[in-house]
Amino acid sequence: MKITQITLYRYDIPLKAPIAISLGTIEHARNLLIEIQTSEGITGWGEGSPFWMIVGETQASGLAAAQDMARLLLGRDPLDIEGCLTALTRYLPGHPTTRSAFDMALYDLAAKAANMPLYQFLGGQKRTVVTDETIYLNSPERMVEDAQRIKANGGEAVKVKLGTNQRDDIRRVEAIRLALGDETPIRTDANQGWDVVTASAVLRTIGGWNVQYCEQPIRRWDVSGLRQVRQASPVPIMADESLFDAQDALRLVREEAIDYFNIKLSKSGGIFEALKINAIAEAAGIPCMIGCMSESRLAITANAHFASARQNVTFFDLDAPFEHALDPVVGGAIYAGYAISLPDSPGIGANVDPDFLSKLDRTVIS
């Protein structure tokens, strides 16, 4: 089997409302969609969601890089996933989100060729995963309204964006805790918004309020500071922006800087690297979370396959489709409230609606 053609799509999905975190605000999901066609008639689909403020990529830069990446893969064996991805990484280091879309399409192809759903191809079994839902930065009153809605809809946990200043962030968590009662876990995410002193102070204050963890309290490069925060905090610390690849995972383990890892396929470069990150975490006794950027249900389904196949993934943050004003995906993961069930069809088991696809700008590399 050989790769004969690759089509790149500008995959824009409108949001219901702007999404605000401490690093910035996005108003549309401007994603990348990749279709890999082969000499055997098997097609693989992949998606990347470039959150520019985290990964340093935009849709435009990703599509430009993807044209060169696609030309490198033409004529190659798509089942040689490691060889294909090594060629992309050596030619153009970085660009993890763009590379993740190719990675996803290759795994989709390989699982289809093996006639297996992706979770089985990855050596795992199907299990239902239950996602949380994120409450984005706003006034405490508005964030309380979102928290109450999530609880009323059956949410088992809420994820709360923080990272502005000590006083306001404590007020946000306190108001949400009072509104929800004591039982619903709160998961916090500062997106690098604090310094060591502020993070330590906030986490000591909210530590008795059933807060399960805090993601990335300080800047991603400050691993020693992350260790200081962890030592001072009654709340477990999760690495997100500090964790892109297996080398980051090793450094965080050696420094004893974190309690949990947040793996995102659009951040790690895809499934191939995510498997290595999870293996390091598992060996170090560090549970993982599967997270997301602003992917459609296509990539969310691939993320859920990965999580289902790895028992060390114990937290699930796959709520991106809740933010979208429309769902262009056919098949794929099914949401029953916050529970996500996977398809048993070969590969990822999801495709983009042909009518929606026909309206997208595209570039064909053959």
Rg (the chain; Cα; Å): 20
86 phi, psi to nearest 5 deg: -65, -40
Residue 161 annotated to the active site: yes
Q: Which of 151, 159, 161, 267 is catalytic?
A: 161
Catalytic residue status for 126: no
Neighbour order of strands in the sheet with 186-189: 133-135, 158-161, 186-189, 211-215, 237-239, 260-263, 288-290, 313-316
Q: Catalytic one among 151, 159, 264, 267?
A: 264
- Give the phi and the psi of residue 317 in degrees, each rounded to 5: -130, 75
On the 0-12 / 13-18 / 19+ scale of CB atoms within 10 A, 341 is middle
Sheet holding 334-336, edge to edge: 129-130, 339-341, 334-336
> Do 316 and 289 meet the contact criterion of CB atoms below 8 Å apart?
yes
Looking at residue 257, its amino acid is A
Locate the DSSP E strands across 121-166.
Answer: 129-130, 133-135, 158-161
Residues flagged as binding site for Mg(2+): 189, 215, 240
Annotated binding-site members: 189, 215, 240
Residues near 254 by Cβ (< 8 Å), separated by ≥ 6? Answer: none
- 331 and 306 Cβ atoms separated by less than 8 Å: no
Q: Which residues are catalytic?
A: 161, 264
